[in-house]
Chain A
Amino acid sequence: MSDLTVSELDKVRAILKREPNETEVGIFTVMWSEHCSYKSSRLHLKKLPTKSDRVLVGPGENAGIIDIGDGVDGKRWAIAFKIESHNHPSFIEPFQGAATGVGGILRDIFTMGARPIAVMDALRFGPLDDPSAGERNKRVMEGVVGGISHYGNCFGVPTVGGECVFEPCYNGNPLVNVFALGIFRHDEIFFGRATGVGNPVIYVGAKTGRDGIHGASMASSEFTEDSMQKRPNVQVGDPFMEKLLLEACLEAMRTGAIVGIQDMGAAGLTCSTCEMGSRAETGIEFDLALVPQREIGMTPTEIMLSESQERMLLVAIAGREHEVFQVFKKWGLDAVTIGRVTDDGILRVKNHGTVVAEIPNRELADEAPLYDRPHNTAPYRPAPLEVPASFSKDRPDRDFNADLATLLGSGDLCSKNWIWQQYDYMVRTNTVAGPGGDAAIVRIKDTDTSVAMSLDGNGRYCALSPREGARLLVAECCRNLSTVGATPVAATNNLNFGNPERPEIMAQLVEAIEGLSEACSFFDTPITGGNVSLYNETLGEAIWPTPVMGIVGLMKTAPPVTIPFKKEGRTVILLGGLGTCDQTRFGGTQYVKSVLNTLWGLPPALDMDYEKRVQTAIRKIVSEGHAESAHDLSGGGLAVALAECAMNGVGAAIDIKGPLRTDLALFHEAPSRILVSTSVPDVVERIARENNVEALRIGVTMKSRLRIDHNAVTRIDSPVDRFRGVFESALEGQLAPQHV
C-alpha cells in the first residue's frame, strides 16, 4: 500500500530506529505526501516574501492573519484568509469534490477563531464546446458550481466573486481553488498547538468513516484511467454539520477553556495530532477506540487516515473540559476526550490500550523529505514564439464589431451570472460589491474598514512565460483592488502545476514562484500562506502552469465605485494611456485565443514602477470620489473594457489615435491601464500628473451606443444592447444540451 519511495522508507527507519508497522507506514505516507509536505516546492517557496508590519501570522499555520487596525469598539481587528485547491476530487466527483473544498478552507479559517465572511473561487474547466470532452466538461462545471453553491449557501457564507476560465488543457484536470476570509479581534486568535502537558485532547464534530482515505496521496499523483475508481476516496460534505461546528467552536473558544485547536483536513486525525504536537513541541497520546466512528470494523490505519469532513481536534485546559462539552452539547455535536498531551514529543496511537503507532511528532510533521527537483532546462512551452505569417500582414478589412461580439460571447469573458446567481453572495449583509466587479468588497461591521478581494490567474500568460505571467497576475490583482479604491496589503497563492518530476514542469514552477516573489515584494503584498497542487496531469498531459493569486486590500467603508458608466456626457479617461504592444506580445491575448483560435509569443510587457504609480493614482481618484465609474483593462483590452463599461445602457463615443495597427490598438492587453468616467476630468488629470502617469481623454459617454474611432476611422459602432445580449446569454447558451 505504501507510496513512500525506497529512500523515504529508509528515512522512516532511521527516525524510528526500527521497521515501521503498517499503521506507521500509512501515517508517514500521507504526512510525507506532496499534498501535505510540499516536498517538491518547499525549497522554492522559501523565496516568497512573508512579512510586513501588518502580518500577524504567516505561513505554517492554518491560515495567514493580517492586522486591519482599530474598530469603532476600540479593539484591534484582524482578518484571516487562505486559498486551497480541490482539483483532483472535483474531477472524480465534481459536486462533492467542490463542496468539500469549500468546507475544508472554511475550517482552516474558523479553526483560527475567525468567523468566515467571504468565499471566492477560481475555476478552470475544459471548453464547453470541446468536440470530444465538451459534454463531460459541462457536467463537471455544473457539478462544481452546484457543490460550491450547496456548501457555501447552507453554511451561510457569501460567495462574493472569483473567476472561471476555459482551456483544453483542463479537459482532464479541472481546477477548483477556493479562497476564504474571516474576521476577528486580536484577542480572539487561536492556534493549532497542543500545549500544557496533561491537558485533554478532545475530538469534536462528525463521526469518522471510511471516506476520503488516502485523499491526500490521491491528490499527489497523476490521473490515469484507474482514477475514476477512486471515487470512494472523495469525501462527502455536510454543510449543516459544518455550520453547527462553526458556531460551537467560536462559542467554545469564548469560554477560555481551549488552548489549541485544529481542523481535520487532509490526512485527518494523523495530520491534526502530529502538527499540533509538533508546533507545541509536545507529544500526544490517544486511543482510537475512543474516536467516534460511524462504521464498524475500521482498522487503526483507516481511522488515522480517514478524511471524513466536519471534524476538529482541540486541546482544553485540564479540569475545564466540561465547559467545552457543554457548548458542544448545546449544538448537538459529539465531543469526546480521546487522549492527553504528553511531554515526550511522541505521537502515541493506541487501539483499545495497545500501542499501534509510536512516532516522534516533530520528525513526522517537519522532517519530511525535501527535494531539489531538477529544473535546469527551459520551462515547457505549448506554443511557438514566432508570429504566424498569416497574422503579420495587416488585416484592415476586419469586421471589428463582429470580433468584439465574439470576444464578449467567449467563455472566458462572457457574463458569469449563471454561476453567481447560484451562490448566495449577500448573506451576512456585508457585501458592498459582489461578483462581476473588478474586486469584491465586504464591509466589516463594528469597524469603518472594508476588505476588498481579488482572485486571479492567467494560465495562458504563464504558459508563454511563467515568470512574466506570475508578475502580471500579481499586478492585475493589485490593480483590481486599487480600481475599487483599496490598498493591497497581503496575498495567498495556489500553485497549480503538472508533474514536478519532469524538469520542464519543475522549471515552470520555479520560474513562476520567482516571478510571484519579485512582484509580491514590489507591491508590498507578502504571501501569508497558500497551497501547492502538483501532478495536475491526465494521461501524461500537464495543465498549463496556473498560479492563482488571492490578494486582499483595505479601504474605508464607502459606497462602491463600480464598472458601468453612470451618466451621459461624462469624460472618459484612460488612466495609464494607450500602452503599447508588438505582435509577439499580442500572441497571448484573448483576441488571439477566441477570434484567431491560436496562441504564440509572449505575454504583455509589464513595467512594475509605472504600474505602481497608476495604482496609486487610481486609489486617490476613486477614494476621493472623482470617478463615477472605474474599470481596469484586462482580457480583450480596451475594446472589451469599454463594452463592459457600457453594459448598463450608457455607452460612449471614443476616439483614439496612434501608431499601432487597429486590431492591436483595440484588443492588446498591456497592463497598467484603467478606464474612468468622470465629471471632473481636470482633477483626474492633475492626480495623474502628480503620480507621473498618463491620463488620456479618449471620449465622452453617450446614450445606448458604443462607437470607437481609430485614427479617424470608425471601427466599432453598435447599439450597446447587441453586446449585452451576447455577453449575458453566452454561458447559458454553451451549457444548453447540443442536439447534433
Chain B
Amino acid sequence: MRFGVVVFPGSNCDHDAWYAVSKNLGHSAEFIWHDSSSLGDVDAVILPGGFSYGDYLRCGAIAKFSPVMQAVREFASRGGLVIGICNGFQVLVESGLLAGALLRNRELKFVCRPVTIRVETTNSPFTCSAAQGQTLTVPVAHGEGCYFADDATLAALKRDDRIIFRYVDNPNGSLDDIAGICSEGRNVMGMMPHPERAADALLGCTDGRVIFESMFQTLAVKALTHA
C-alpha cells in the first residue's frame, strides 16, 4: 500500500502522518508537494494537519486552489481513498469534497487535548475494522474545529449514515457532536481529531491506528477482488 501525504506550505503534521503510516504501521508513504498536478502512484491520500498557506483568509480556503487539490478531486472522483485530518478536513470542506463548514471553537480558543470519540458507523473504508459504538481516545489540536451545516445537510448526513465519529465530550461546540464525516461516495473522510498522534504506544495511546488499519483493510480487499 502506498500512501501519499500532501504537503502544503504551512502543513505541519505532514511528517507525523508519514511517520505513523510508515514507521508505526509499516506501510510505504511519500510526500506530495502542493504544486504537483499529479499524485503519482498512490493508493490513498492523506491531507495532513497544519496551517496551509498560513490559514489566511479562512482555514483551507487558499489550499483549495492549489494544483494538487485538482489531482485530489480527480482521485476522489475515481473512488480513491482520501482522509483529511484537522486542517486537511478544513481543506476538504472548503474544496467542496465534504459538506458543511468548520467554524471557530465555541470557546474562541485553540484547544489541544485528548478527546473521546465514538465510532458511529463501521460502514466506511475508515472504520470498517472498528466496532460499532467503539470509543477511541484521540487528541484534538485546533482553533477552528466547530463543525456546522445547515438543516438539510445535517439531515442528509444522518440519513446516509455519513457521520463517522461523534465526540463523547464535545471540545469545540460542533453541531450534533460531529467529529468526522464522509462524502456521499464514502471514500472521502474528514475528521478534526488526529489519529496519527495516537498510533505510537510510546506516546500513550494507539486508538488512532484502527482508522489507518481500516484503510489498509479496504485497499487489501479491493486489491484482492481486482486480482
Contact = CB atoms under 8 A, between A and B. Distances in A.
B3 interface: no
Contact of A429 (B54, B111, B201, B203): B203
A445 interface: yes
Contacts, number: 87
A715 to B, nearest CB: 35
Contact of A426 (B15, B54, B139): B139
Interface stretch (A147-155, A209-217, A334-342): A147-155
Interface stretch (B6-14, B36-44, B94-102): B6-14
Interface in B172-227: 194, 196-197, 199-204
B110 A424 contact: yes
B59 to A, nearest CB: 11
Given A421-B112, A422-B110, A422-B112, A427 B16 contact: yes
Interface in A395-437: 420-429, 431-432
A391 interface: no
A445 B13 contact: no
A238 B12 CA distance: 15
A346 to B, nearest CB: 39
Nearest to A238: B54
A240 B111 contact: no
Interface string B27-60: 0000000000000000000000111011110000
Contacts of B196: 429
Interface residues of A, number: 32
B113 interface: yes
B12 A156 contact: yes
B141 A153 contact: yes
A331 interface: yes
A735 to B, nearest CB: 11
Given A421-B112, A427-B13, A154 B202 contact: no
A425 B51 contact: no
Interface string A229-263: 00000000011110110000000000000000000
Given A153-B141, A422-B110, A429-B19, A332 B202 contact: no
Nearest to A435: B112
B50 A156 contact: yes
Given A424-B112, A427-B141, A429-B196, A559 B10 contact: no
Given A427-B141, A432-B203, A244 B112 contact: no
A240 B110 contact: no
Given A238-B54, A240-B54, A443-B202, A426 B10 contact: no
Contacts of B16: 427-429
A332 B9 contact: yes
A557 interface: yes
A240 B53 contact: yes
B124 to A, nearest CB: 24
B172 to A, nearest CB: 11
Contacts of B197: 426, 429
Given A240-B51, A240-B53, A429 B141 contact: no
Nearest to A443: B202
B109 interface: yes
Nearest to A159: B112
A157 B60 CA distance: 20
A559 B202 CA distance: 5
B203 A421 contact: no
For the complex of A and B, 6 pairs with smallest distance between CB atoms: A156-B12, A240-B54, A424-B141, A429-B16, A154-B51, A424-B112
Interface of B: 9-10, 12-13, 15-16, 19-20, 23, 49-51, 53-56, 109-113, 139, 141, 143, 194, 196-197, 199-204
22 contacts: A149-B110, A153-B51, A153-B110, A154-B10, A155-B12, A156-B12, A156-B13, A240-B9, A240-B51, A240-B56, A243-B12, A331-B9, A332-B9, A420-B112, A422-B112, A426-B112, A426-B141, A427-B13, A427-B49, A427-B141, A428-B15, A432-B202
Interface of A: 146, 149-150, 153-156, 238-241, 243-244, 331-332, 420-429, 431-432, 443, 445, 557-559
Given A243-B9, A332-B9, A422-B111, 14 more contacts: A154-B10, A154-B55, A156-B51, A240-B55, A240-B56, A244-B10, A425-B112, A427-B13, A429-B16, A429-B199, A429-B203, A431-B203, A432-B202, A443-B202
